[in-house]
Structures are given as structure tokens and as C-alpha cells.
Structure 1
């Protein structure tokens, strides 16, 4: 499956879908159902997305998918709902918070495997600020969106924290580790 041409995506419509799903979820406890009739055609193409919620500039929730298994509109609706109500790091969003929360929708490119010989090789291949990274070992899997580079700009630190998120020691290395990279096109509500 391929991602829709990210240059032609209607960012405003994606953000409206995300916000609509958060608001709908507060009342109905499920993602906003999608009616494709009135949507931009690109929103019916398969795509992987993450929705990030921020309150006062701080992370308030972030959930999404790494692989394009649903139409873009459905994936945004689902990721926004999950970020607001299913991210276990935070309590579910309350009605009083809705006005202060700002949403970001990131549309992911296809995942690209990174063949590496060792950790130094991996760090050399990463492009800070551009690459999102997925680490996989067995059933363990974790990712950092490209935006995480803003708080972890040094590649070694970025990788160490991603390993920790995956439940691995920061200095861990194994031939079984797999690394995948992706890029995002991100749309954000204004503050």
C-alpha cells in the first residue's frame, strides 16, 4: 500500500476530522464515524497517521499507526480518539480541557528498513529532525516521530531514549534488532 501524495492533502480537513473525533468521542466513547461522500478524495486512500495532543505546549496524548491499513480519514479519526482517550500515559481528556488542547496530525511515509552493521552505522544513517524511527526486537516495538528530535537532538540520546521506550537497556545491541525509518507531513492547529 502507498501513502497518498502528501503534497495534496487537505490539512485543514484532517485537523477538523481529528478534532471532530475527539469531541465525538467525549460523548459517544468511540471514534467519529466517517462519511466519505463529502471528503477530499485523498482522504479515502490508505495512510498511516499519528495524532498528538498538546496542552500549554506539553504532550497530552499521542497515538497512531505505523502502517497504512485504513483510509486516511478513518486512521485520523481513530488516532485522534485514541490519543485523547486511550493513551495510558494520561487520563482521558475531559470536556473542560477541549478548548485548550491543540492537535497535530502527522501523515507517515512508508516504512523503510535500515540495514545496519552496528549502532555507529545506524546513528550515521539517521537524519535528525527528518527521520522518525521504529525499533523492533521480537514482539517489542517502539517509535519516535520526527518531532521528538526537537527535545532529543543528539542521535545517540534519541536512540537511547527510544530503546528505553521499547523496554530495552540504553546500551543494548543485538543482531536481532530491526530499524525502520519514515518521514511525516504534519499539520497543526494554531495556538
Structure 2
């Protein structure tokens, strides 16, 4: 799998949207990236590396090529935390792609959850009723969170009280992800090692 090619595909889709052009994906790329996989695209300002947009497809319900295009367009134009990316910003952001494993419910007593969550490896999804929140594996590393803080912030992301992970009817899922990012806009791509 050529991650640089996937990042280029995401950039291509966003550039075509700026140009008002239809996005036409070559058939060989559709075939090469036909495996269903969850993926998130994160855009960060360069060189500051401030978050500029992050949206993805957490479940493996779409082919990787489609999930990459979709998440790139959504991160650029639909993240409600930010105004839509402007054309003049295009070469001032770096792309980050996170490839996700399917989420698995963590089935341990609630009080044991902090003991089984691995910072730097696990991403979390918290679900209670209609509310659902997801944080990628790199987020607690970037913020220096403990497993309890990771659980609390995932609850808050879901629009729930921060301690709702302790409730019996709350479901907690974990997944892992491989993170790749451009070193600079349009530059070399590196795998991010989460510590």
C-alpha cells in the first residue's frame, strides 16, 4: 500500500472541489484500494501543526479509496469546528491519514477500563443511547492524557458527562490505527510513531 498515493488522492479530491471539477478516480486506484477500511483524514496548519480539520469513516464500510476521498473532503469543508478550508490555505496544510482496525467492544467491568486501555495504541469510541464519540489513538499522546482522561474526553466528545464511561449502559470500544503524515505540504510521508 502506497500511503503517499492515498494522501495525493485526498489532496486531488479537495483541489478538484476548489476548481469546481468532478472528481474522477482512475480505475487502477479503485482496484488497488478496494479493501473496505476505516480511515480518518486530519488536516494541520504548517509549520504550526494546529488542527485544521479532522473527519473520517470509523467502520470498514467503504473501499479505502472512497473513504480517503470522502474523509478528505469532509475534513477540508465540513468539520463544524472550523470554517471551510480556503484555496489559499491548500499549500499551507499537511495531510495526515489514520488507517483503522475495526472497533471491538471492551468487555471488562467498568472500573477496570483504565487498566486495559493502552495509550499510544488504542483509539476509543464511547456510545450511550444516541450519543457517540470517537478519539483517535494519537490524541491522548498529543495531549499527555492518562487512560482515565482519555475516557473522560471521549465521553465529552460524545456530548455526555465525562464520567459516563462508568455507567452500565455505556459501551466502550477500542481500535488501533496506523498514522501517516506529510512532513511538509506535498512533501515526504512518514509513519508516526505514537509514544
The TM-score with structure 1 as length reference comes to 0.88
Q: Does 1:171 align with 2:163?
A: yes
1:140 to 120, 131, 143: 131
| C-alpha contact (below 8 Å) 1:152/1:158 kept by paired residues | no
Q: Distance in 1 between matches of 2:58 and 2:87?
A: 29
**For the residues of structure 2 that align with 1:122 and 1:129, how far apart are their CA atoms?**
16
Q: Residue 182 of structure 1 corresponds to which residue in structure 2?
A: 175
In the other structure, the counterpart of 1:44 is 34
Give unpaired runs (5+ residues) of structure 1.
Answer: 1-8
1:42 is displaced (CA, Å) by 4.1
CA contact (8 A) 1:10 1:40 kept: no
Give 1:40 shift.
7.5
Distance in 1, Cα, partners of 2:151 & 2:32: 33
Taking the aligned partners of 1:137 and 1:47, their CA distance within structure 2 comes to 24
Aligned residue-pair number: 180
What is the DSSP-based 3-state SS (H/G/I as helix, E as strand, rest coil) of the residue aligned with 2:108? Answer: coil
1:109–1:183 CA contact under 8 A, matched in 2? yes
**Kept in 1: contact 2:30–2:65 (CA 8 A):** no
**Aligned match of 1:123:** 114
Aligned match of 1:100: 92
Q: Deviations over 1:6-58 (max 9, x none)?
A: xxx2111111111112212223388x342322x28441111110000001210
- Which blocks of at least 5 consecutive residues in structure 2 are unaligned? 185-195
CA RMSD of superposed structures (Å): 1.6
Take 2:132 and 2:50, find their aligned partners in 1: how far apart are those partners?
24
Deviation at 1:73, TM superposition (A): 0.5
1:75 corresponds, among 49, 67, 72, to 67
CA distance in 1, matches of 2:90, 2:116: 40
CA distance in 1, matches of 2:147, 2:10: 31
Q: 1:62 aligns with which of 40, 54, 60?
A: 54
User: Structure 1 residue 129: deviation in Å?
Assistant: 0.6
- Residue 43 (structure 2) pairs with residue 53 (structure 1): yes
Match among 56, 76, 83 for residue 91 of structure 1: 83
